[in-house]
Structure formats: structure tokens, C-alpha cells
Amino acid sequence: MQRAVFAALSLVLVLAAVVLADRGYVERQSFKAFYCAGVAVRERRDPYRVEPLRSCERRLAPSALPSGYVEPAPLPSYALIPFAALSALPPKAAALLFVIALALAAVLSAQCLAAVLPASPSALLLALAPLTLLNVAYGEIPPLAMLAICSAAYFLKTKRSNAAGIAVTLALVQPNVGLPAALAVFLFAARARSAIVLSALALALAGAAALGIAQNKEYFAQVLPLLANAELVASDQYSLSRVLFAAGLAPGISLLLGKIWFACTALLGIGLAGRLAMKRREPEYLALLPPACVLLLGIYLHDIQMLIALPAAFAVAARVDSAALRAAGATALALLIGVWTQHAGRVTILLNFAGTAGGLYAVLPGSRPRRAAWASAVAVGAILCLLVMDHFAPPLRAGQMITHDFTAMPDELSPIAWGRYLRATPALMRPTFAAQLPAWLGLLALVTCALGLARRTATPVLSGSREPLLASGPCSESLQRCD
């Protein structure tokens, strides 16, 4: 019965993604930038310049915006290679395959998490559905990064080190969240190190072959810094740099402090994950926890990336043992599962309710009726909060966004033009953080739970010895178990 329910939910998720693609909605979102960057890669042109991106995007999604408008494709070269392959297809067919891949990524992630926790895969998939469909609607790639992280956690749990190393390296499709996971696994799972090194080398060589050394250098040295500077003014940013800039700090200082904060949260996540892996023999934290930590006010973040925090939230909430930590874990899940940046329409309310109820049912203790009752009650509370937010701080509507004229030169880097677009659209620069607050509070509750779990964990010792089980090094698997 459980398999039939999971299969049915998986089919519904895939069909919902297909409907969005069939209506042409996905092509008008960020997918157009990735598709057009893929065209540029295939034609051996620079995917980070205004041209050829702008003319391709205009063909895909005609717009009334000023002629300077172009959406960047801020992905490293190796992550653009799949889009180069997709760009050989017509845009509609490419979008269809892309969204099916996103939906299947959520399905496989739920299966991996269900094996790691353990928990009901159907309940987990329900919890992943709201943010997955948000990514589908916007044509974004975080579900693929989530699958890489969840796969790495599963392989670590089942002691398949090489597979774990390959999987966690693939999370670098989103470098700002994948890098801490790869570093944690590299540091604390010795047998995965060679796979990580070889996989990273393969990605680098593939990227160099696709774009060349000069354009790869351009991406890291110019595109990323320019994009970070452009997004300082964006009201949908979740970064500390944006908060500081909105508070009145200079752009340079805001960006510097944001980078320092990212390094600190990455170190916190890696250290916490290593402690939990060693003391609890649960190496899956190495892949799951560091990405969640850097999502707390990290670099270049939006609502779509919050999906990547959910696997860690499940793992922590399912394992805390005190009443206070259980409450914090449930709060973290309720705040992180929901979509808070969209209008509280019927679809959003239904998805948020089903996702929150499913996520809490997956991790709460007790009998099935008790879990269902508590999960439903919390989900109702989350919906009420969404309705209050929608009334007092409603999201922007299309009619509110008026863009003044601006220009962009064909040979400019696309983040420069993107910065001009944001600054020419006052509604996109509102100094408000109501939509980000639930995710920030959820991430804070998650980190608090992880700290509590690490503090309450006793060090496992060998029989007849006081030496820690993993004292010889991080999760080296020399003892054949790290789970």
C-alpha cells in the first residue's frame, strides 16, 4: 500500500510539472537564461555576455521590458553542459524534459531520505513538493543539487564511499551550497576523498573543454562578484549582504561581511556535521548539514534554495530527544517546508498544508493517529500565518513592477545589465524582509537543534577503551562503520 501511495504522489508531482511546462510558463522564467546559455556553449560563444544571451531570450520569451533587459545564467561552465545538450531540442521540448528531471529529483531525494532516517517516503515527498514546484515554476535547478546531497547522504549511510564522493561533488552544480558539503565529506570521510578529487577534476576538465580557460576564469573572477553586487539591491535576496546594505552600509563593506559570514556558517556546518558523524556514527550529516547552515544569510540566495535545507531539517528533527528540541525541530520544518513568497491562493494553501502535514508526520514520535493530529494542527497554524502575511505584507504583483528605460552593450557581462534592470525597477528594491523571515527563523531553529543534538551526544568508545571511535580521523571507515 505504501508503495502505491508513493507511486501515485510521484505521478501527480511529475504531471504538475508537465502541466507547467506545457503551458509555456517555464520557458518565460529562468529556464530561458539556462537554455540560451546552453545555445551559446554549443555554438562556442560566451554565455556570460549580454549577447548572445539577450537576443536568444527575446526569441524564447518576447517581452515589453526595455531593450537592455537580459537575465544572466550564473552557473559554472560544467553546469551549463547539460543545457548545451538540451538546447539542441526545441525550447518547449527542452523545458518539458527539464521539469520532469526536477520532479524526479524530488522523488529520488525522498527515497534516499526515507532510507536514511527511516521515514515514510510518501510523507517526505509531500514535504518536498511545495518548494520543488516553486523551482519548477521558475525553471531553477536546486532540486538537482538536493538530489546530489541526499544521494551522498544515502551512500555515506550505506558505506559506499566512492559513490558518496561522486554524488556530493555533483552538488557543486550550486557552488554556494554544494561546496561546504563536499568539503565536509572530504575532511571526515577519508575513503571518499579520491572520488571527490577525481570527480572535481572531471568537472573542471569538462568545463574547460566546453568554454575554454579564459571564460572559466571570467566566471569566477568577474561574473560572480558582479552578480553579488547587482543583487545587493534585490528585495528577494536572503543574504546578509543584502540586509546590511538595506540597513545603510556601503556596498563593499556589505559584501565583505557577507563573505565572512558565509565562511563562518560553512565552518560551523562542517564542524557540526563532523561532530555528529563521529559521535553518533551518522555520516549522512556530512552531506546534509553544511548546506543548510550556509543557507542562513549566505551568499546569493533566494526562496528556491531553501529546498536544500529540508533534508537536514528532517534528519535533525527526527532524532532530537528532548521536548524543547522536538518543538524547535517541528518549528524548523513547518517554516522551511512552506512557500512564503507567493500569494496565498488555493494552490499555495493546499500545497503548504499538505507539505507541512506530511513533513511533520514523517518525523514526529507516537502513534499514527497522534502524529496525524499534531501534524495537521501545526499545518493549519502555518496556513494561518501565511494568510496573515499575505494580508499585511502581500507579495508583488506584475502590475506593480514598472521598469524605467535602460541600456546594455552587447559585449558587457550580463550581471552588469541585470544590476541596471534591478535598479531601474523600484518595486524590486523594496527594503522589506517579511517574506524571508519564516525561512530565517526556520534555519535558526534547525541550527539550534543541531547544536543541541551535538551537545547531548555521548562519544561512542571501543569496548575496553576510552578512545573515541573515530579518533584516528574523520569518518575514515577504518572500523568499517560510520553510521
For the chain, give every domain's residue range.
Answer: 2-226+237-396+412-456
Give, in degrees to the nearest 5, the angle at Cα 201 between 299 and 206.
85
Q: 384-420: string of b/e by CB count within 10 Å (b at 16+)?
A: ebbeebbeeeeebeeeeeebeebebeeebbbbbbbbb
In this predicted model, what pLDDT tens digit does every residue of 88-118 receive, in sequence order? 999 999 999 999 999 999 999 999 999 999 8
Report in angstroms the alpha-carbon separations of 11 from 14, 15, 196, 205, 329.
5, 6, 34, 37, 29
In this predicted model, what pLDDT tens digit does every residue of 35-59 receive, in sequence order? 999 999 999 999 999 999 999 999 9
pLDDT at 460: 41
pLDDT at 27: 86
pLDDT at 69: 96
The residue behind cell 551518522 is 282
Confidence label for 400 from pLDDT (cuts 50, 70 and 90) = confident
Share of the chain above pLDDT 90, in %: 89
Asked whether the predicted pLDDT for residue 469 surpasses 60, the reply is no
Nearest Cα neighbor of 275 from 478, 445, 460 is 460
In this predicted model, what pLDDT tens digit does every residue of 197-235 receive, in sequence order? 999 999 999 999 999 999 999 999 999 999 999 999 999
Phi, psi of 436 (to 5 degrees): -80, -20
In this predicted model, what pLDDT tens digit does every residue of 316-358 receive, in sequence order? 999 998 999 999 999 999 999 999 999 999 999 999 999 999 9
pLDDT at 397: 84
Give, in degrees to the nearest 5, the angle at Cα 302 between 299 and 306.
95
Quote the cell numbers at residue 104: 524526479
Average pLDDT, rounded, for the chain: 93
Q: Is the dihedral of CA 295, 298, 302, 305 positive or negative?
A: negative
- Write the single-letter amino acid at 218: E
Asked whether the predicted pLDDT for residue 473 surpasses 80, the reply is no
Spatial contact of 97 and 105, defined as CB atoms under 8 Å apart: no
The residue behind cell 517526505 is 124
Task: Report d(CA 480, CA 475) in Å as an integer.
Answer: 10
Confidence label for 457 from pLDDT (cuts 50, 70 and 90) = low
Of residues 22 and 287, which shows the higher confidence score?
A: 287
pLDDT at 463: 31
Question: Quick one: average pLDDT of 280-293?
Answer: 97
